[in-house]
Chains A and B, each alone.
Chain A
Amino acid sequence: MAEIDACGLDEIDEEDLLRFDHGGHSYAIYRITGDEVYCTDGLCTHEQVHLEDGLVMEHVIECPRHNGRFDIRTGKALGAPVCIDLATYPARVVNGRVLVDLP
């Protein structure tokens, strides 16, 4: 794992997410409120649609294609049509920058 400087905290609105591509892989970085941030894989486990156009509601990300929902903190799939959990990665804020631990 390597800690990567992904973006500035102020690039992500509260209750929103940002797409982050790194090393040939795509991720989603979420900001809930303040400096509470999370990182998951960017593609929905149902049909591999990117979550970047999805909706963040508290700690849930809803996929833009079929409204499948995941818990952002754990990646847990919350019900059909998503059945496979999303991979998560550690994320934190240091000096206004979002740092993520990626493989």
Chain B
Amino acid sequence: MGLMKLITFPMDRSYSLTGPEAQKAVAAGLANADWYRTPVDRKRLKALMQRADGPALRDTALWLGLLGATGAAGIALWGSGWAVPVFLVYGVLYASAADSRWHECGHGTAFRTRWMNDVVYQIASFLMMRNPVVWRWSHARHHTDTIIVGRDPEISGMRPPQLIVIGLNFLGLVSVPQSFAALVRNALGRLAPDEADYVPDSERPKAVRAARIHMGIYGATLIACIAAGSILPAMLIGLPRFYGIWLLLVMGLPQHLGLAEDVLDHRLNSRTVHMNRVLRFVYWNMNYHMEHHMYPMVPYHRLPDLHEAVKHDCPPAARSLWAAWREIVPCVVRQLRDPHHFIRPQLPPGAGAPRYGPMGQAAE
């Protein structure tokens, strides 16, 4: 197998939002379509959607407290071997845990109080090296058109999968330079064509301002490094996005990897994975990913209950991360040879019919 095969896409399919697949998706009725949702009684759903500040206040205090404590310990131990494990934990809290905070607060569901969602969203966006304005719109599109090729900007497992890129990204080696370049581009007042496809014109000044603030903080960190003659300031701000992101990929790639493209049913393109309490704290229950896509209004702390409410209609959840990856790895390896291969989850007897396409066209 040639090396290039690991990093190239099939020539007949582009994941660009401005390429031919975008037009095809619209023509096929896959854009902004009506998705299957497991019916849940309105009263029960309303109870599940109720917001509270308590769980997220507790979890955020713990998260920021641990981040502060490990950061302080890292400074104190800098120069000794003990700094290594401390920074490993700091990095995971910085980069891997921030993703789910960015995500939940972006939906505005983590806290009941709006400004609390907004504050944590801004902090987490910075830690993830994401423009908070651009990524809010990107994620809205991901929810409208989940894994619809040519429409969804957040498809991480294209076909055939770029295994080298995915591997390098366990240390952020491709994603960090890309993210940083995107921030520089935004700070210079420009949006990439894909970004321009989903960010409305009226939001662009905000996107530019946010990118400039982020660049200002990175600039100050660089000055601190030069002044101190040490990379320690960057070990605390910026570099954790490299060395702390690996756990996010372990937990997050199974969300959709290996599953169907171009269907209108989250049971077929999203995966729920059971995880232990520590990982669920880091990931804020985003392991209940299929449920989240079906009902994005349910806050993270009620997703286990939503799982109970819909599981009779859904494929069985992966029993563990290990089980999920055991399913994924053979699939993506086969996709290198056969990009049309994907996993077809088994729906339980009596489940609602899978929705492969727009209503009235391709339901089976």
Contacts and interface: CB of A to CB of B under 8 A. Distances in A.
Interface of A: 13, 16, 46-48, 53-55, 57, 62, 64-67, 69, 78, 80-81, 83
B108 A67 contact: yes
Contact of B137 (A57, A62, A65, A81): A81
Contact of A57 (B112, B200, B202, B295): B112
B307 interface: no
B136 interface: yes
B46 interface: yes
Interface in B187-214: 200, 202-203
A47 B294 CA distance: 17
Chain B interface size, under 10 / 10 to 19 / 20 to 34 / 35 or more? 20 to 34
Contact of A81 (B46, B109, B140, B295): B140
B32 interface: yes
B281 to A, nearest CB: 23
B116 interface: no
Given A57-B51, A65-B144, A80 B297 contact: no
Contacts, number: 44
7 contacts: A13-B46, A57-B112, A62-B297, A65-B143, A66-B107, A69-B108, A81-B136
A51 to B, nearest CB: 11
Contacts of A65: 143-144, 296
Contacts of A57: 51, 112
Interface in B271-318: 295-297
B296 A80 contact: no
A66 B144 contact: yes
B238 to A, nearest CB: 26
A54 B107 CA distance: 13
Interface in B101-129: 107-109, 112, 114
Given A55-B46, A65-B296, A67-B297, A80 B107 contact: no
Contacts of B137: 80-81
Contacts of A80: 133, 136-137, 203
A64 B297 contact: yes
A53 B200 CA distance: 25
Contacts of B108: 62, 67, 69
B297 A55 contact: yes
Contacts of B107: 66-67
Contacts of A47: 32, 144
Nearest to A16: B46
B49 interface: yes
Contacts of A16: 46
6 closest A-B pairs by CB = A66-B140, A81-B140, A55-B49, A67-B107, A67-B108, A80-B136
Contacts of B140: 46, 66, 81
Contacts of B45: 53
B143 A83 contact: no
A83 B200 CA distance: 9
Interface in B21-61: 32, 45-46, 49, 51
A85 B112 CA distance: 22
Nearest to A54: B297
Interface string B122-161: 0000000000010011001001100000000000000000
Contacts of A53: 45
A69 B114 CA distance: 10
Given A55-B297, A67-B108, A80-B137, 15 more contacts: A46-B140, A47-B144, A48-B32, A53-B45, A57-B112, A62-B108, A64-B297, A65-B143, A66-B107, A67-B107, A67-B297, A80-B133, A81-B136, A81-B137, A81-B140
